Amino acid sequence: MVIILIFIGVLVSNQFIGVFYKSFSTLSAGNKKAVPVFMATWTGILGTALFLIAVITNREFVPSAVTWLSALSGGLSFVAAGVLYIRIMSFGPFIWSVLMMNLSNFIPVVFSLIFLKETISLPQTVGVIVILSILFVMSVKTKTGNRPFTTKWIILALITMFANGSVISTQKTQSYYMDGTQTLEYLAVLFLSASLFAIVFNILSGNKKASHEQFNPRPFLVIALGMAATIGITNILNMILMRYVAAAVQFPIVIGGGTVLSALIGIKLYKEKPGRRLYLSVFMLVIGVVLLGIG
């Protein structure tokens, strides 16, 4: 029962993350300087909060080498995924953008099978193939040449998917080698390093034209605080699940349930029209999740 409640918590918090990203991409339209500043702000807030919690609860802060390595590499991937996610949200449909981020959860499944010695049954293998086939459904043009996104969007979305999948793979690695311990230490270093990487990215990407852009951080403060809270909750719940649920089961459930919820949000909140392609993709996700639950 507790595991089910945690799954529900992950699904719900994930939807808030998507909405916050979409809200920021709308508010920051045309202001590229806002993106790294926003990423640095909320990851810094979250990282500091997690650091303080880790120190208070453990009365020390001594992450292992595995935790440091996993968190630093995860932080770099997280910034890349976050910047790209805001980008694809800015000129792509909410439903499809969230779907691509959901699909990134299959990267740690494959990663766990190859590097962490997890096993997978034949039905689960078929489930993985069915769900990954969604990428083919997304890329094929109809007879009229219509599809819900441009070629540029799908290329950026694929890069985003792999970047986000790398973050989750580092979480799985840390959980596997540390047996579920040092979760707070890992997350604190992850988000503090992500904030640092975002600051470096802002400095390196700066130019004379960008320096004249007016950036008012006040409208983004509520979104930043919301992002810090929801992503912090999601990561903690996900890492708790990693201790008890195999990646081949955990992530497909998150993908399937999350995609259905994001489709409903896209239709109701953003007035998007999914079309048959998305309905087919959701159906394939459901079939894949059922298969992954076998064995």
> What is the per-residue pLDDT across 198-250, written as a single tens digit (0 to 9) for each?
999 988 886 545 444 555 667 788 899 999 999 999 988 888 888 888 776 77
> Residue 229: what pLDDT?
92
Helix, strand or coil for residue 189?
helix
> Residue 211: what pLDDT?
45
- With 0.85 as the threshold, say if the pTM is over it: no
Average pLDDT over residues 283-294: 76
End-to-end C-alpha distance for the chain, whole angstroms: 20
To the nearest whole percent, how much of the chain has pLDDT over 90?
30
Cα–Cα dist 72/170, whole Å: 9
Identify residue 29 by its one-letter amino acid code: A
> Residue 12: what pLDDT?
87
Cα–Cα dist 103/119, whole Å: 20
To the nearest whole percent, how much of the chain has pLDDT over 70?
89
Helix, strand or coil for residue 150?
coil
Cα–Cα dist 109/90, whole Å: 29
Instruction: List the domain boundaries for the chain.
Output: 2-292
> Which single residue is written with the structure tokens 């650091």?
51
Work out the pLDDT band at 154, boundaries 50, 70, 90: confident
Q: Regarding predicted confidence, which is higher, 108 or 194?
A: 194
Give tens-digit pLDDT for 252-286. 677 767 777 787 788 888 887 777 777 888 788 77
**Of 19, 1, 9, which is closest to residue 268 (Cα–Cα)?**
19
Average pLDDT over residues 162-174: 93
Average pLDDT over residues 61-84: 95
> Residue 210: what pLDDT?
47
